[in-house]
Structure 1
């Protein structure tokens, strides 16, 4: 029986090798794709999509198609969400002496890693490409590599290395004799000097870029250079020159029908007119800038129009523009970046798993064909093996799905407990601060002491639950070793979400402690505060906090509203008492009266275990 199995295995291997003979020549269609790739990448992508993907058995053409398809998508500015195709190309060409294809495969692997927010891994890919450039001469590609690597170093603030890469990119661009690449190389170096505030060098390279763009009559590159110069002179405070370049850039974009950049150009021109005190002209361009679907531009234009209306004394218009600004600002803030990253990661994992399953199905298909070719005698035996194998895969996948569901459930509970622990700790801190200010209010002190002890017991219980949940997560992660990366990613996203909440609290505290208006309330409490300015600032920073409080709780007095605003920006009971020149217990009594008025209007909305300070900070 054992010798029979060996014979079957040898026969299957022989048939597999006979079926997997690959073509050693590249398809002629790829020559046409490469001929139009640099100048017309959209045409190259269309040709590749019409062409049927070569079979995996034809490894050379399959790898070439995967590489060219990835390159075409990249040049059409389509964001990459998976590295499955480029991995096929990289796996093939990395073992060959085709240096150009190998370098291209590593380069686009780096591009995909950048789109997946793995910049450090992408940098390693580009460094490898730099080493491969010594084996072939293609200056246009070399300039692209140097500029891409330079941008990464610039993002990491490694400016000396970035300068070296961009200068090398200029060298290759001059050698390639392709004008638009040279303009981009000059502009990239200029932008690097701009980040270091070296304005003379910045201006020099921007002007070289503009000179080259005009020499080759490239209106797109010329508009880019003029825009860079406008930004430069605005940073230097030379608003007249900034206005001149911004208007010139606007005319160029109108001339070439570049509708996408017109709204931004008009916003820049309107801002420049505002800076030189020509408010009527500024209003004209800023209102034009509002005719776009770009919410960032609309937000900026409304802010500028608000400042102009306020300066002109048109307070009704100023309020309207400020309302529009706050609406769009809230829309931008509500973009959940963590959710977007999680969606990309899930999509990437699903595509990777789907490709693995497809490869497995292809292997099964080849195995079945090989066995069928061996004869009728082996059909029953191979079918039995296939059924057992498929059942094993099904059981394994069911086990994996169950493990994934359990890990997700425990991670969700773990995250909810962490949030509850954090809220309870903040509540304990608020109660403790109030206890310090209550003096002889014995009944209230005993009541809140009991609440503090109850909250501490609750925190201990949640922490013990988290320990149990973590043990369960580790158990499932250990039982599904091949999905360690998935478990780690899910845990990381959960921790990132909690970290973002802590970061939000940190930034709020930082604003309260460093903005001059709020810092003066703490350091100079004896000064008479400008309540109008305080209310206006709080509305801007905290989503119309003052206005919403005034509209929703009409029973609150002016002094109640003032106390609520001071609590919202983080002042303690003692600091508020000093500001009003009264004792801390008096402020505590005011808080209880505010609580009673809120409950009176909201039907006992605030329960005994909910501190007024905590409610206002979340309001």
Structure 2
């Protein structure tokens, strides 16, 4: 009794460790969510390696599917289809959780958008808006993505309202970095509509809130607008500033192209030729195509006809290539494509910076103790149920053995009585006869109790698959279809066989389960060896391991075949 508190403490520690190692923990899902924006690679590894979805509850499986979709998206992994996120969508559609439903619809829309299915993406973005969520950051992304989809479809009158809504949501959370991207997209949309004054206003608003990484592209496009409105002084100021802010080598090529256009318009063809030649080193086809086009303008002005012909050929070759790859998208639209991941990363850069580490620790400790306490209660409950079931099954085995022994003893006594009746003729003959009849009646009752099992065994013996396996000539031709037919036949005749077996042995391998079915089908050890392509000694070792497992579960059993054949 003195050791009881120590044993309970050890049991509590084992349960806590088991929950952490074997069962999916809500804490792991929460950690993956916390890492999602700043450390998406760590979140992806955690979700793919540390969590077993088959052990999760329905709600946790939905969260896991949603988080895994987001993590793959943030790690630039493509999705072949939306089967994973559909798990989350199907669950959240039946639950009163508008925030998660909105995020699930948004993630499903992202998958379709990345796979080039604009209409499907648009449908799920609209569903996300109707879900009723209030997270301004997610709502801003949805509205902006909708706006870009409408822009690509040239539905500008639908695109602009969505972009304005995105800006409203971003202003609610003070996300200036993302506002700059949306305002830049608005400028591009106005440019497509030939509303140059409104495009300039949008670009100028974007500059006021743009981060250092996005200022160069905004200033370059603003300079291009000023060229089109013939405000060359302003154009030069912004294009020069864009060139100074282009810290990345590849981001300089569009600026070189715009600067070349500027010098053509102001009549400085030498400088124009210099910058257009530099832009030809761009890895982007549409930038090179535009450069060849403007170089051909210079060649035409200078009446350099041979060079003009070569430049036009190169321009047309690139133009045809771009048309084939993008199915009639214009060069201007191609320049408007940008990395959506950058928007999400900058929008969420500071989202978790103000979370208190002490609060996280307290929440984690409290959650761990609650989970451990719950697991302890579950262990006590299921352990009690298991012991009760073990006692019942052991009692059944003991009764079967006792009845067999009683029947054998009765047969011996009946035989003795018959001999006595034939050898002796006295007044005790009637008593001997009566005792013999009583013993025969007891044996009849035992036979009646065994009749149901014998009838089931007879059904099995009359099946074609049973005879197929008993025929040794067939052992070398056993297929997976034959194995499945045998298993299905046994399950049909003995419906409780597999359930009872797995209750006796909760941890049982496929090979061990298959061995139990062979024993139930009365296949000899030598024939099982031939079917399984395992030595006879190997089959014997498997049988011994199974018997050891049964004994370790608390059963008093010395014969594996007897235990298995007793199950019906």
Larger of the two Rg values belongs to structure: 2
The normalised TM-score by structure 1 is 0.46
